[in-house]
């Protein structure tokens, strides 16, 4: 089965492609062959060709990606940009070429910024085809042949061996020690032992042991199966179809900005129309009234805001990359700060997906090993206290686990410990290394003579070795009950108390541990060939090792941090309920002591599900459609949901969630494609770091908004006052600021000054407050009040300085045009100096800048210095004078603008003081009432 992003999807008759609704895992193997018109010797080539024509190739169709032109045009889909486009076109029509070109250039710049980001994200998506092999071994015309996976058809007899990826959904006909890693599809933390017998109809996908599914990996053994579903009819195809139908949720920031844009558009259009009418009634020509209206539109629209938001989010992306989080969608940065629920997969996220021996039982009692995962570092403990020396009986059981073993532990070039083979066997190797043993040394001291591999029917494995003393010794490991039946006594010669041992096994299993027993037998008469009957009796029990995929220590701490921050964490896994219960208990997620299973989810209504998902913290044996339903139910409850996952089965829920979080190490290409962000270390703790960073980004975005909006409103008020009250001289209105000068302020000065706020330090106790309400407006009462307050100050200062400088120029004998240009330049400079002082006060919306430390964010002063240099060019460079209609200013004019601009500092300090005291009064009053 392969994936084709350019292929158009074709309908399939049913899940099994052959028009017959069959529950394949409940059908006997020979019946499956009959229903598919197959046979053990395989299809003939003509039959296979006919079935390809009939059912289509083994391809999962994906939708075509958006082309570059579509991506670019989508960046223009904003009401505010429509207003700017119209304004620019009208300006060009009226002959105002410079004004029109600059306005249209602004629109193009914003579109290019958005296009580049989305185009890069699209190019970075890894192809889904990495999930599947290119070729498969099938039996055709009684011969085994290797065919392209796309040519596998229903009824093909497929042969599997260790290392293969399964090419299609198969009903297994025969197996030999076959184990398949289905974690990408089901979330199961260990390979599944397969068999050919039927299972019950209502078995969950992870319990269908007679089936193997396309895209999963054979870890050991061999098998033969008949293809029952290909392409879109497979489980992987069904998930891909579910993924295609899944609605992508817009982020809180996107929704808020859309609301603000729509609101501003209507207000700007209304005020612009009113201004045009007022100007015309006052005697403006149609052209002059239109230019005035365009000026107001250009002034009121925060053209630089999209660039400020994009760059601020990009800075957040860079900071998150340092914290091992890669962001694929820029708005996801802010959404993280709004997250109210994190739905986390268990395997590989809350745990490391690395089986770890945690408990070892011997005749001298129970011991513990510290450390998590495949890193062979850890301490030996008894009753929670470290032990300096390793008891001999502990060495015996560890040695048996390392010798009776066909797997390996290797270190990658990057220093990461990696399992080769069965994870449970690798866990035994790691345990031995922690106790000072090494498998290579043991292999030399205890060379293997022969072995009997693990088989599901026997549930044990045996190996024959020559000891350093020259004796022949058999070691066995396997299911405790099976090993106990073959033992006569303990290794120290004491008789077996099987009742007590069974209680010990039950106690270990109750804590979520998978238990393996080890035993040995010294041969009286040495032999060289080991057969299954040699493993039946005469053994001494060495001990038992209990292992699990334990929670990451940092995950436990991060969940506690989430609780403090008002974020609920829920574990959603495809693993068994007992395993989920044990891990959930260790993580502190069992809020009501109950694990909800996928079977239970199927039976409850959407209304009941809403209540269940609100109260329960752990969900087990969950299928892809269940995960999708859980995320949707949480969203209906008003939650902002972050969903983690690494498998194909997680992809639809990742896409539906407000934030989809994929794993970078163990994650599949499908999950990464559906996600908004990728964890490079697969660690739950990195999500919490990202949430913290997301809150910081949102705080700084609000600061930017509070900084930017007063400038736009102030400029619009300047134009409004001018049209309503300024005189008309020589048939033309006097304007204190021109459209092209407004764009200089909005695009150059405002953007350059706002960007340093993105580097502002994190607010105190950012993770000690609840998530912000996603329904709360971006322009809340505080933002509106501050905007109006500062805008009025700015308007008053700009108009006062324009009048003062115009009068001074005329008194000094300057021509009207020259005096007007100098006065307009003074007004623009006043606004920019005003912005520079206001920027310093915006570093914190509540605290004094002196409590932050005046120079703790040096980028603020770099921004101020940069814009003052640019403003000097605006004032004194001839080509800038020609482009923007500016004129040189005298020194005394600069001193007056600086004095006027500095007024904003005490004005904002007074506003903060009043607001802080009102808040303290309200808190005290609420406490008394409580």
Of 342, 335, 338, which is closest to residue 317 (Cα–Cα)?
A: 335
Could you tell me if 487 and 540 are in contact, meaning their C-beta atoms sit under 8 angstroms apart?
yes
CA–CA dist 105, 914 (Å, integer): 42
Q: Which two tokens stand for residue 325?
A: 């989080």
pLDDT at 772: 82
CA–CA dist 838, 61 (Å, integer): 55
681 annotated active-site:
no
CA–CA dist 893, 823 (Å, integer): 10
Could you tell me if 550 and 570 are in contact, meaning their C-beta atoms sit under 8 angstroms apart?
no
Cut 0.75: pTM above it: no
| Cα-to-chain-centroid distance, residue 727 | 59
H or E segment and range at residue 796:
helix 781-811
pLDDT at 124: 41
Start-end of H helices in 301-445 = 305-322, 331-338, 392-403, 423-434, 439-445
- Residue by residue, DSSP assigns 695-734 as HHHHHHHHHHHHHHHHHHHHHHHHHHHHHHHSPEETTEE-
Of 545, 294, 525, which is closest to residue 398 (Cα–Cα)?
A: 545
CA–CA dist 514, 287 (Å, integer): 83
Torsional class of 926: left (φ above 0), alpha (ψ -120 to 50), beta (otherwise): alpha
Of 332, 372, 368, which is closest to residue 348 (Cα–Cα)?
A: 372
pLDDT at 62: 54
DSSP label of 234 = S
Sequence-distant contacts of 867-875: CB under 8 A, at least 24 apart: 867/748, 867/749, 867/752, 867/753, 867/832, 867/835, 867/836, 868/832, 868/836, 870/748, 870/749, 870/752, 871/749, 871/829, 871/832, 874/744, 874/825, 874/828, 875/825, 875/829
The sign of the torsion formed by the CA atoms of 43, 47, 50, 55 equals: negative
CA–CA dist 241, 244 (Å, integer): 5
State phi, psi for 564 to the nearest 5 degrees. Answer: -60, -35
Residues pairing with 690 in the sheet: none
pLDDT at 493: 86
pLDDT at 541: 96
Residues pairing with 661 in the sheet: 644, 677
Q: Which two tokens stand for residue 709?
A: 């909006």
Q: Choose the catalytic residue: 99, 164, 181, 345.
A: 345
Cβ burial of 480 (10 Å; 0-12, 13-18, 19+) is buried
Q: Which stretches of the chain score pLDDT less than 50?
A: 2-20, 121, 124-133
* Per-residue pLDDT tens over the stretch 772-799: 887 777 778 888 899 999 999 999 999 9
């Amino acid at each position: 089965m392969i994936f084709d992003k350019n292929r158009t999807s074709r309908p399939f008759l049913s899940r099994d492609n052959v028009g017959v609704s069959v529950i394949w895992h409940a059908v006997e193997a020979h019946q499956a062959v009959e229903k598919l018109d197959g046979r053990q010797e395989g299809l003939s080539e003509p039959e296979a060709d006919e079935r390809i024509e009939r059912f289509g190739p083994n391809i999962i169709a994906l939708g075509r990606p958006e082309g570059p032109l579509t991506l670019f045009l989508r960046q223009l889909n904003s009401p505010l940009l429509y207003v700017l486009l119209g304004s620019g076109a009208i300006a060009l029509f009226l002959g105002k070429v410079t004004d029109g070109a600059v306005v249209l250039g602004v629109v193009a710049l914003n579109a290019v910024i958005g296009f580049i980001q989305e185009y890069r994200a699209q190019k970075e998506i890894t192809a889904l085809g990495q999930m599947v092999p290119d070729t498969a071994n099938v039996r055709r015309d009684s011969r085994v042949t290797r065919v392209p996976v796309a040519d596998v058809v229903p009824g093909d007899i497929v042969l599997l061996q260790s290392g293969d990826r399964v090419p299609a959904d198969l009903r297994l006909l025969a197996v030999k020690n076959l184990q398949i890693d289905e974690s990408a599809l089901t979330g199961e933390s260990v390979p599944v032992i397969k068999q050919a017998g039927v299972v019950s109809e209502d078995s969950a996908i992870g319990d269908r042991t007679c089936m193997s599914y396309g895209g999963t990996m054979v870890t050991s053994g061999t098998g033969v199966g008949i293809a029952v579903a290909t392409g879109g009819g497979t489980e992987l195809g069904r998930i891909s179809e579910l993924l295609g139908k899944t609605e992508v949720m817009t982020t809180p920031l996107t929704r808020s900005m859309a609301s603000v844009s729509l609101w501003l558009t209507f207000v700007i259009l209304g005020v612009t129309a009113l201004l045009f009418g007022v100007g015309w009634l006052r005697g403006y020509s149609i052209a002059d009234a239109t230019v005035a209206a365009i000026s107001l539109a250009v002034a009121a629209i925060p053209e630089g805001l999209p660039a400020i938001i994009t760059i601020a989010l990009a800075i957040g992306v860079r900071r998150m990359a340092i914290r091992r989080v890669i962001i694929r969608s820029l708005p996801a940065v802010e959404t993280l700060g709004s997250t109210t629920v994190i739905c986390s997969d268990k395997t590989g996220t809350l745990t490391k997906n690395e089986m770890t021996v945690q408990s070892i039982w011997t005749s001298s009692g129970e011991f513990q090993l510290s450390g998590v995962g495949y890193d062979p570092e850890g301490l030996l403990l008894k009753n929670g206290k470290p032990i300096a020396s390793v008891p001999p009986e502990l060495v015996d059981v560890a040695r048996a686990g390392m010798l009776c073993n066909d797997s390996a532990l290797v270190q990658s070039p990057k220093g990461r410990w990696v399992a080769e083979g069965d994870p449970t066997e690798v866990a035994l190797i790691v345990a031995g290394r922690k106790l000072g043993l090494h498998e290579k040394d043991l292999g030399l001291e205890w060379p293997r003579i022969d072995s009997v591999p693990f088989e599901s029917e026997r549930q044990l494995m045996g190996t024959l070795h020559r000891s350093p003393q020259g004796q022949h010794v058999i070691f066995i490991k396997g299911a405790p009950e099976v090993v106990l039946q073959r033992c006569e006594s303990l290794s120290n010669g004491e008789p077996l108390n099987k009742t007590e041992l069974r209680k010990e096994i039950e106690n270990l299993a109750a804590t979520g541990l998978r238990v393996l027993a080890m035993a040995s037998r010294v041969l009286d008469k040495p032999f060289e060939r080991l057969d299954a009957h040699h493993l039946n009796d005469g053994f001494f029990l060495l001990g038992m090792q209990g292992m699990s995929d334990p929670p990451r220590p940092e995950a436990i701490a991060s969940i506690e941090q989430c609780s403090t921050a008002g974020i609920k964490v829920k574990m959603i896994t495809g693993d068994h309920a007992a395993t989920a219960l044990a891990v959930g208990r260790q993580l502190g997620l069992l809020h009501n002591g109950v694990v909800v299973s996928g079977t239970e989810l199927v039976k409850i209504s959407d209304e009941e599900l809403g209540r269940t998902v609100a109260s329960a913290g752990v969900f087990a044996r969950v299928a892809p459609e269940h995960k999708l339903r859980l995320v949707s139910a949480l969203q209906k409850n008003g939650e902002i949901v972050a969903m983690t996952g690494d498998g194909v089965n997680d992809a639809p829920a990742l896409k539906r969630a407000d934030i989809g979080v994929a794993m970078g190490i163990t994650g599949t290409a499908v999950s990464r494609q559906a996600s908004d962000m990728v964890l490079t270390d697969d660690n739950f703790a990195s999500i919490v770091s990202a949430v913290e960073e997301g809150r910081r980004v949102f705080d700084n975005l609000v600061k930017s908004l509070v900084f930017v909006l007063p400038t736009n409103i102030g400029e619009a008020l300047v134009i409004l006052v001018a049209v309503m009250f300024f005189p008309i001289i020589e048939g033309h209105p006097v304007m204190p600021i021109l459209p092209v000068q407004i764009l200089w302020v909005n695009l150059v000065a405002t953007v350059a000054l706002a960007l340093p706020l993105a580097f502002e330090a994190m607010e105190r106790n950012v993770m000690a407050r609840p998530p912000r309400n996603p329904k709360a407006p971006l322009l809340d009462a505080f933002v509106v009040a501050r905007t109006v307050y500062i805008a009025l100050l700015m308007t008053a200062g700009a108009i006062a300085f324009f009048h003062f400088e115009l009068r001074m120029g005329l008194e000094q004998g300057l021509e009207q045009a020259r005096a007007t240009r100098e006065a307009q330049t003074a007004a623009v400079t006043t606004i920019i100096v005003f912005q520079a002082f206001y920027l310093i006060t915006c570093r914190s919306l509540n605290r004094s800048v002196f409590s932050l430390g005046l120079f703790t964010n040096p980028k603020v002063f770099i921004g101020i210095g940069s814009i003052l240099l640019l403003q000097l060019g605006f004032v004194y460079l001839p080509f800038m004078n020609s482009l923007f209609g500016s004129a040189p200013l005298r020194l005394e004019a600069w001193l007056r603008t600086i004095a006027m601009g500095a007024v904003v500092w005490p004005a904002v300090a007074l506003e903060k003081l009043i607001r802080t005291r009102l808040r303290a009064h309200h808190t005290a009053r609420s406490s008394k009432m409580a």
